[in-house]
Structure 1
Amino acid sequence: MRLRSWVVGLSLVLFGSAAHAAEECPAKSTSMDDIIAVLNAAPSCDRAMTLFDACAYGASGDVQFGEAVEKKCEADFVGRLRTPQKLSYQRELRVCDRKYRNKSGTMYISATAFCRAEVAQRYSRRALKAGRAGR
């Protein structure tokens, strides 16, 4: 399982030192607007997800970052989904929304945002793979 940014944040609280992330956030600052700009400028869904992981707050602010990643990933597939596939996608997003709903703490809000972004990434990868196979 991939190390989540909220785990990194928890590590900072518990141990007082930064855990080594796979990549540092390339945003100009830690402001939400700067991070969202980096996510929106990502050339692909996978890159946006990598940046989300690197730039995440590990708190409720990650909802906006996750939404930017979802939007980036959905560009690869959402217009091509048939009704059953759309319903399946929406159902998977709802599973993420319910997964941590009875947990308290902003790190669970972050985990929900990551879950939703991962669902969108999975659908993006499938669509891109199907597009390459159809050539």
Structure 2
Amino acid sequence: MLLRSCLAVPAVLLMLGTAQAATEECPAKSTQMDDIIAELEQAPSCNRAMKIFEACEYGASGDVQFGEVVEKKCEADFLSGLGASQKKAYASELRRCDHKYDNQSGTMYRSFTAFCRAIVAQRLSQKALKASPKAR
């Protein structure tokens, strides 16, 4: 009995932490794809677009379109400043995301791929903004 109680406490704490992390509600005027895309396009930054993506995700193949908007928003911060070898490395990271779930079936894996690609773009955006003299 004591062992079950000891195991239950960490499980409850883990669930509470997860619930707190997902507190933002989708700010789009509806859950329709067009409304979410419009909200993503209006995001003032890459990081904000990612937060909206996380809050509005479908968890299915529809997330591919949301992820594409986030990628473009983030790429605006860094893509023009990349040299040829850096662009090649970026493309390679995106391909890695594209192939990560090749052996998996189900639309949730398309969502995972979209998030993977968006995270890669967000990471490069953050790095570029941190290095930018304007950001200082």
State the alpha-carbon separation in 1 of the partners of residues 87 and 125 from structure 2.
13
For each residue in 1:31-66, what CA deviation from the matched residue of structure 2 results, as whole angstroms up to 9, or x when unmatched?
Answer: 100000000000100000010000000000000000
Change over 3 Å in CA distance of 1:134–1:107 after alignment to 2: closer
Q: Which amino acid aligns with 2:23?
A: A
Counterpart residue identity of residue 87, structure 1: K
Structure having the larger proportion of residues in helix:
2
User: Which sections of structure 1, spanning at least 5 residues, go unmatched?
Assistant: 1-18
User: 2 CA distance for matches of 1:53 and 1:113?
Assistant: 11
Structure 1 residue matching 2:96: 3-state secondary structure: helix
Q: Deviations over 1:4-34 (max 9, x none)?
A: xxxxxxxxxxxxxxx6623000101111000
State yes or no: 1:99 paired with 2:103.
no
Residue number in structure 2 paired with 1:50? 51
Give the equivalent residue in structure 2 for 1:86.
Answer: 87
The residue type paired with residue 127 of structure 1 is: A
Runs of 4+ in 1 over 6 A off after TM superposition: none
Instruction: Map 1:33-72 to 2 at 5 A.
Output: 33-72=34-73
Q: Could you say which structure has the larger radius of gyration?
A: 2
Q: CA deviation at 1:132?
A: 3.6
Residues of 2 paired with 1:58 and 1:105: CA distance?
11
Aligned sequence identity (%): 69
Instruction: Tell me the distance in 2 between the aligned counterparts of 1:127 and 1:22.
Output: 28
